[in-house]
Homo-oligomer: A and B are copies of this chain.
């Protein structure tokens, strides 16, 4: 059960975008910040764009920026955008192949195994949904006060 590696990049990039509001930042610069492969990060940002989390602009002066307020973007949104919305536990309804099975039953809802696994995942998703990008930014700013300014400065210098 491994999550897509791009989720980490995506979340960090969203946080960084919060430090540079009202400006389109290219995938190239976002990638340079963490020394990531540009093309691959671009792919993740595309996924975020498709999900409506970012908005993208082509051409010179183009790039990505947040499409929504940071407090409206949850960690779950980002995870789903990159990693898909499917549950980790896939109930294949093996009970249907068992003896005495009800062909019409939806065992994803009645099987106690499936229910337990789903319940656990639900708490997981709920936890992720409770955390927004704005929360993360706030946490960073209170714990590492210089980070915001440093990041802004770094991106400003790279511009030249």
- A interface residues with partner B (beta carbon < 8 Å): 1-5, 7-9, 11-12, 15, 33-36, 75, 79, 83-84, 86, 88-92, 94-95, 97-100, 112-114, 116-117, 119-121, 123-124, 127-128, 131, 135-136, 139-140, 143, 147, 150-151, 154
Contact = CB atoms under 8 A, between A and B. Distances in A.
Given A75-B116, A120-B124, A136-B116, A33 B98 contact: yes
Contact of A120 (B100, B127, B135): B127
Contacts of A140: 112
Number of copies: 2
A139 B120 contact: no
Given A113-B12, A123-B124, A98 B34 contact: yes
B112 A143 contact: yes
